[in-house]
Amino acid sequence: MSRVVIISAVFPPEPLVTAMLSRDIAERLSVTHQVTVLCPEPTRPQGYHFSKKKDKLPYEVVHLPSFTSPESKIIGRLRESISFGKYCAKYILEHKSDIDVIYVNTWPLFAQKEAVKAAKKYHIPSVLHVQDIYPESIAKKLPIVLNKTITKIFLPMDQSILLKATLILGISNSMIDYLSSTRRVHRSKFELIRNWQDDDAFVNYIPKEKESEDFIFMYVGSIAPSAGVENVIKAYNKLLQRKTKLIIAGNGPDKAKCVQLANDLNNESIEFLEVSPDEVPELQSKADVLILPLKKGIAQTATPSKLTAYLLSAKPVIACVEDNTDVAEIIKEGECGIIVPPEEIELLTDAMHNACNLSKEKLNQMGQNSRDYALKELSKEANLTKLTGLIEKLIPK
């Protein structure tokens, strides 16, 4: 039986999309292959409480004793990536003779580097799944001088990582085009795999009759700096419509700051919740409009996985992203929402106002468009089948 190793930066019980992707891949491949998952001890998201219960699984999970940094601080995250990469490389060295292929979905850039370098050294095919573009994603958050320095130092490292990987998976066409061009890696080495959600959990959920008469705007996901949830709060606070509510569900490094902002504004119609993955379909069904905010430049190099969950919930989406991005392309093609330039608080307020004044029929049609597009283009079955097929093609005969 062939041996597949899955290197995953996060893994259940961590309730993150990347963790669910790796779990689904492990489950599918374990039907016909021996599968081992390498991951750190669970720590994400920060503040989440993990059950100690151990489930019986059809694959092996090895928790490596690497350093973890759930808090979003550069030095901690850097140490985490280096540490996990070293432990993964050590495992590959110790088991190189019985590993047939390695799937890598881990922290950039150091953990990626160590994993693909070890795979290349021992002639093991590797599939690198890129979820975000580094160093650009981190460099954009720094002053211009540091931005240029970071890019100059680390862009060649990322190029080397991509060249060493046997196959590269990107989550959007715009990401693949950008990586291929800037890293000088041939386009044929990339494959498009959309991130997926648990389709059945959303499609099979039967919404209950709405209890509140309020028009509900909702954000569900990590409250991280890249999202700019504070801009949603500021925009909503300017909304003069009566009988509205803003629900922000999730955890993350910016949650305390957002809660404080809502308190300072003394806006009692803003509510903060915590939500587990199995509660997301029910919670999102209560929204009239779901909001996807991103800071400037973020959507140009990343496609948030929560977009698929939003669309599967059959709700219109207000997305704060640039026009020439994958998120904007999906919403325009699907005719399922409104695009607002990022960090434009007044324009976001206007979009909220316009959404409140749409007819119920129009909102329902946009919501149905959301689900139809997600099932056709972003579904779990289509993308999981394609991804596992690509991994299996690399297994030596």
Domain architecture of the chain: domains with CATH: 3-196+379-393 (3.40.50.2000), 199-377 (3.40.50.2000)
Distance CA 169, CA 127 (A): 7
Task: Please provide the DSSP assignment of 81-142 as one string.
Answer: HHHHHHHHHHHHHHHGGG--EEEEE--TTHHHHHHHHHHHHTT--EEEEE-S-TTHHHHTTS
What is the mean predicted confidence (pLDDT) over 332-349?
Answer: 97
Query: Which residue from 280, 340, 356, 339 is spatially nearest to 312, judged by alpha carbons?
Result: 280
Q: Answer yes or no: is pLDDT of 344 > 90.
A: yes
Which residues have a Cβ under 8 Å from the Cβ of 221 and sit 6 or more positions away?
A: 227, 249, 250, 304, 306
Residue 283 backbone dihedrals phi, psi, to 5 degrees: -65, -50
Residue-level pLDDT at 49: 81
Global pTM?
0.74
Residue-level pLDDT at 273: 95
> Mean of the per-residue pLDDT values for the chain?
93
Residue-level pLDDT at 150: 84
Share of the chain above pLDDT 90, in %: 75
Distance CA 23, CA 43 (A): 16
Q: pLDDT class for 269, splitting at 50, 70, 90?
A: very high
Which residues have a Cβ under 8 Å from the Cβ of 186 and sit 6 or more positions away?
A: 180
The answer to whether residues 246 and 233 touch, using CB atoms and an 8 Å cutoff, is yes
Give the least confident one: 22-26, 64-68, 204-208, 264-268.
204-208
What is the mean predicted confidence (pLDDT) over 57-72?
Answer: 94
Note the pLDDT tens digit of each residue in 10-25: 999 998 889 999 999 9
In the chain, DSSP finds a helix count (H) and a strand count (E) of 15, 13
Note the pLDDT tens digit of each residue in 210-236: 777 899 999 999 999 989 999 999 999
What is the mean predicted confidence (pLDDT) over 333-340?
Answer: 96
What is the mean predicted confidence (pLDDT) over 150-169?
Answer: 95
Q: pLDDT class for 141, splitting at 50, 70, 90?
A: low
